[in-house]
């Protein structure tokens, strides 16, 4: 708590100047209206192809966390080079260095002390999201009065000093209406003053493949004028249930009734279904309703995460450790409907997860956090499950404590939303 208070109340000449400039600019822009960029009505982003897959995109990140954009490039198998990255949290540095290639010389801890001028002309794409607590509806919403709020200026400074072809700034939705919209108008104007064509929109991760309600503002700045429109939402195919470690009966596995039908003597005799056979029967369009088609037995369902041919969302199955289950006392607390005038939902096992919080390790009420039940017992999500719900594959190495892993997942950007943006952008056009 002391650290948070220090961050909020920190004073320096630099911060004081930034606050004065922001206040002056906010007054001059009080009547200006900025409108969100439209969604694309063209080809679905999932069907778009990269025009120059042979090119390498040079990326630089600030407030890097655990490298969401870096993981997005990895998942897309795109050529890229990390030019610089940095985060003030030492635990984030541990996770970052365990998962990405970067030299110590190109890592910085405090953006306020980072001189980005030597990287001018050496980076194509800058990505970052200044700490959001100053604007989040979950926090105190002090905005630029919170010293962390002025870190936005540091992001803008890095863009100014490096002059990338484009940048991505991500933050909480609350930023748009903070201080009656004046805060965002200031930021938008600063980006335009830097010479960038600014496009922004609030996107929800459950519209881009991840079963989590997580609305964030995504702001893109283009060095050249563009008619860019944001990727349109797609139908959600998965539930939170599909991302859990101790469940394997996703929609790709037959339940008891289906197994009985597929293995019945009558069904096998009429060759409706082929099981582990050499002859491949034609899969029918209505297979999910009548169970006809091809089926394969997976002994004990021990699928490996490298079996991409089966499905990238089905992971290794392993027993969840006892420490993630809630004691009766804690379970009563998280399932309490509230006290006095405070009421909250007690719903668990949601199809679409509530927003993952960086404070998940503290175990809030069920109306704030995500809890699931297994064999009659309630438990919290594991760090691995939280990472999956942020779009990180199991190839991402967890090298920190559970507490830090929860914080890192909750502070990250959802990788799948970034993938949608990269495809819509055709990010390879900006490579070399």
The alpha carbon dihedral of 365, 368, 370, 373 has a sign of: positive
For residue 303, give the 3-state DSSP assignment: coil
Q: What is the DSSP letter of 350?
A: -
CA distances from 279 to 267, 282, 320 (A): 16, 10, 38
Residue 370: count other Cβ atoms within 10 Å of its Cβ. 24
Convert 103-112 to b/e letters by CB count within 10 Å (16 or more is b).
eeeebbeebe
Q: Can you read off the two tokens belonging to residue 10?
A: 């920190």
Task: Describe the crossing of helices 151-162 and 182-193 by its angle, rounded to 10 degrees.
Answer: 20
For residue 39, give the 3-state DSSP assignment: strand
Q: Where are the alpha helices (DSSP H) in 234-393?
A: 256-262, 265-269, 287-290, 328-334, 383-388
Are the beta carbons of 60 and 84 closer than 8 angstroms? yes
Whether 92 is a known active-site residue: answer no
Residues 6+ apart with CB under 8 A from 48: 423, 424, 426
CA distance 67 to 86: 10
For residue 101, give the 3-state DSSP assignment: coil
Distance between terminal CA atoms of the chain? Answer: 46
Residue of 132, 206, 219, 386 marked active site: 132
Q: How many residues does the chain have?
A: 432
The alpha carbon dihedral of 418, 419, 422, 423 has a sign of: negative
Across-strand partners of 86? 108
Task: Quickly list DSSP for 163-185.
Answer: --SEEEEEEEGGGTTGGGGHHHH
CA 31 to mean position of chain CA atoms: 33
Q: Where are the alpha helices (DSSP H) in 176-301?
A: 182-193, 256-262, 265-269, 287-290
Are the beta carbons of 211 and 386 closer than 8 angstroms? no
CA distance 162 to 159: 5
Residues labelled catalytic: 132
């Amino acid at each position: 708590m002391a650290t948070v208070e220090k961050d909020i109340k920190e004073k320096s000449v630099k911060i004081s100047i930034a606050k004065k400039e922001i206040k002056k600019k906010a007054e001059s822009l009080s009547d200006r209206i900025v409108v969100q960029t439209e969604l694309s009505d063209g080809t679905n982003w999932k069907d778009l192809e990269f025009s120059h897959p042979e090119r390498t995109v040079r990326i630089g990140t600030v407030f890097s966390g655990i490298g969401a954009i870096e993981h997005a490039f990895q998942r897309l198998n795109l050529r890229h080079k990390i030019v610089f990255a940095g985060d003030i949290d030492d635990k984030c540095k541990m996770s970052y260095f365990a998962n990405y290639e970067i030299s110590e010389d190109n890592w910085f801890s405090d953006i306020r002390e980072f001189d980005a001028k030597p990287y001018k002309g050496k980076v194509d794409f800058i990505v970052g999201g200044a700490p959001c607590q100053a604007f989040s509806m979950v926090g105190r919403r002090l905005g630029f009065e919170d010293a962390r709020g002025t870190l936005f200026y540091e992001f803008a400074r890095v863009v100014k000093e490096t002059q990338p072809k484009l940048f991505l700034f991500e933050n909480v939705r609350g930023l748009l209406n903070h201080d009656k919209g004046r805060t965002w108008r200031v930021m938008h104007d600063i980006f335009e003053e830097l010479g960038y064509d600014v496009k922004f929109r609030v996107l929800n991760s459950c519209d881009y493949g991840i079963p989590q309600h997580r609305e964030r503002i995504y702001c893109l700045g283009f060095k050249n004028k563009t008619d860019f429109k944001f990727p349109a939402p797609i139908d959600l195919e998965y539930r939170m249930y599909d991302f859990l470690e101790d469940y394997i009966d996703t929609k790709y596995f037959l339940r008891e009734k289906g197994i009985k039908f597929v293995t019945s003597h009558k069904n096998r005799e009429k060759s409706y279904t082929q099981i582990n056979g050499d002859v491949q029967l034609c899969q029918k369009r209505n297979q999910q309703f009548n169970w006809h088609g091809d089926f394969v037995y997976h002994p004990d369902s021990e699928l490996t995460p490298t079996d991409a041919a089966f499905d990238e969302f089905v992971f290794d199955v392993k027993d969840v450790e006892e420490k993630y289950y809630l004691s009766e006392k804690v379970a009563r607390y998280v399932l309490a409907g509230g006290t006095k005038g405070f009421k909250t939902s007690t719903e668990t096992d949601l199809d679409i997860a509530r927003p993952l919080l960086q404070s998940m390790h503290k175990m809030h009420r069920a109306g704030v956090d995500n809890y699931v039940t297994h064999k009659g017992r309630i438990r919290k999500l594991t760090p691995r499950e939280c990472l999956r719900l942020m779009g990180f594959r199991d190839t991402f190495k967890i090298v920190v404590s559970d507490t830090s892993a929860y914080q890192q997942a909750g502070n990250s950007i959802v990788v799948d939303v970034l993938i949608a943006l990269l495809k819509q952008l055709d990010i390879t056009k900006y490579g070399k």
